[in-house]
Chains A and B, each alone.
Chain A
Amino acid sequence: MPRTYLTRTAPDVGEIEHRRWMFRHPLVIRIAHWVNALCLLVLLMSGLQIFNAHPALYWGNVSTFDTPLMAMSSTEDDPPKGVTTVYGNTFDTSGWLGSSTGPNGEPADRGFPAWATLPSDQDLTGGRSWHFFFAWAFVLNGLAYLLYGLVSGQLRFRMIPSLDQVRHFGASVWEHLTLRFPQGDEAKRYNVIQKLTYLVVLFVLLPVQVLAGLAMSPAMDAAFPFLLTLFDGRQSARTVHFVVAALLVAFVIVHVALVLLSGFWNNMRGMVTGWFVIERKVEPAASPETRGGAA
């Protein structure tokens, strides 16, 4: 039986037959969500700016300049070609990686293109300033969210799958793949895949990302040498930081896609005002006419 203590009844009694208003997202969570969204976007773009200062990745403690895991560069051609090497395989990535049109319209030798970096020009010190400020904002916001989530019970309610959800894991995967979203009481809680994804993002990806970032700091390595052990060296930590950033981008893409597909305005209203509409479960037999005429 799903917990329904979060449900409040809206004053609009006429609609109650079909739609139920649910107060889904408390203020703290809504603020934390949007602060987090802003932080992740700035951290990503300023991070790409920092990466562009040396667009190559390695494994271990030091940079093996001749044998990078991945590297972006430009050729001597006119116009220059962008070349990306991954595990020794070379790809032509002109216009995207290695060489792309700069803010002035001229081809520029840069890892990621100007539209993806913050600031848009090549500016390592600017990128670092943005990155550190928003890293602090991200961490403080995340801690506030976790603290609130633990105390209010929201974290457990949102993230821990219930037994019946675990039992129906396969069915849930199928629902996701066919883009059939839960209705009725089932829509009041996150489904099992959502819960597991949020768990992984919140308790694996984000902490690993923060730790990998800290492991790149020579002072943090002196204070906490285990950081280097954890990541097998500073250059590996930098590589992990890059890969986890890519995984977070993948998460955000899927997240935004599902927000769009499962009712954009309802989801947005939910995360802005807190109020979310639960559609009444429609039986397969019910036709649109009966739905419309039941009022």
Chain B
Amino acid sequence: MIRLPSRRALLLGATAAADTAMLGGCDRLGEADWFRRTLKTGEDANLFVQRLLLTERSLAPEYAEADISPWFKPNGTEDPPDEDYKALSKGKFAKYHLEVDGLVEVPFKLSLAELRNLPARTQITRHDCVEGWSAIGKWAGVPLADILTRARLKPQARYVVFHCADTMDQGNPLEGGGDGEDAEEAVPVDNANPAMTKQSGTAETKRNVGGQQASGETVAKGSDPVRYYESIDLVDAFHPQTILAYELNGKALPVSNGAPLRLRVERNLGYKQAKYVMRIELVESLAGIGEGKGGYWEDQGYAWYAGI
């Protein structure tokens, strides 16, 4: 018993030192490529197992009117800084068109009025942010399956990509052609999770955005402003609860929640629910889009599969 205190002091000191060493070591490990890939197998396993457990008929729980959250917390972009978008918004989206193209037999455009005339689905569902909070809202919109059926997918089509109106990162034309590492460094680190609002809309923003008519044709990788985008596979795309919503809680979708059209892909976390959807592109591979990980946040390291 007499030897115990010294032993305890020794252990406590060792514990504190071990914590510092461990944290430093773990942080370094977490930055090593091979270790990051190893850790990611956990998220690969999530996708594999959840796809085994869920059928096309597994529906996300739907709630009653009384469960609707009084305030549906807006997230990510709340007011896109882009001039084109601002003009659309000013005209109450009368000039808005949803484009559907890529690996489809029949590419087409639909105005908001035309979308509203299509058969709609209304669902009261829970929105789960990757950050941890939840809110319940009533969404009305067009089932994505109907849109895809109308466009007639080519056999090679495997993913549905949603191109959005909101610019997330301003490109820097002076520092073009950065490699992957540099691109990661350029991301604002104080904003490392999708739950937080992106602050953009500086004078420089407007200048860049004003001159981005040609942004479709890539000028130099790493120098273009990066707009939000997301992707889902056909399993989620044809799920009955996957809709392109134009209404929240019985009213036109507010700008802060993604007006005029946002994706609801229930059974997934919030960052999959792309807002300000302008164009739907069917692709065979995600490699050529953004940094190739299938979404804006995915390019920052988030898992492509967002079921957990």
Which A residues have a C-beta under 8 Å from some C-beta of B? 50-51, 53-54, 56, 58, 61-63, 65, 114-115, 118-126, 128-136, 216-225, 228, 234-235, 238, 260-261, 264
Contact = CB atoms under 8 A, between A and B. Distances in A.
Given A62-B126, A125-B193, 14 more contacts: A63-B69, A125-B300, A128-B130, A129-B36, A129-B40, A129-B42, A129-B303, A130-B26, A216-B308, A217-B308, A218-B267, A219-B50, A234-B126, A238-B132
A54 B23 contact: no
Contacts of A56: 132-133
24 contacts: A53-B195, A61-B63, A61-B134, A62-B69, A65-B133, A115-B23, A118-B26, A119-B27, A124-B193, A125-B302, A125-B303, A129-B30, A129-B36, A129-B39, A129-B42, A130-B30, A134-B42, A136-B45, A217-B307, A219-B308, A221-B267, A222-B59, A222-B267, A235-B133
A222 B54 contact: yes
A135 B42 contact: yes
Interface string B109-126: 000000000000000001
A118 B58 CA distance: 34
A125 B30 CA distance: 11
Choose among A58, A125, A224, A235 the residue with the greatest number of B CB atoms under 10 Å from its CB: A125
A135 B308 CA distance: 12
Interface of B: 4, 7-8, 11, 19-20, 23, 26-27, 30, 36, 38-43, 45-46, 50, 53-54, 58-61, 63, 67, 69, 71, 73, 126, 128-136, 192-193, 195, 266-269, 297, 300-303, 307-308
Contacts, number: 153
Nearest to A234: B134
B23 A118 contact: yes
Contacts of B134: 61-63, 234-235
Given A54-B132, A136-B42, A222 B60 contact: yes
Nearest to A257: B8
Contacts of A224: 53
Nearest to B265: A218
Contact of B73 (A65, A120, A218, A238): A65
A220 B268 CA distance: 10
A141 to B, nearest CB: 14
A-B pairs with lowest CB-CB distance, top 4: A219-B307, A133-B42, A132-B42, A217-B308
A115 B131 CA distance: 20
Given A130-B30, A218-B60, A219-B307, A124 B54 contact: no
Contact of B41 (A125, A128, A133, A220): A133
Given A133-B39, A135-B42, A50 B69 contact: no
A222 B266 contact: yes
Contacts of B39: 129-130, 132-133
Contacts of B129: 54
Contacts of B20: 115
A224 B60 CA distance: 10
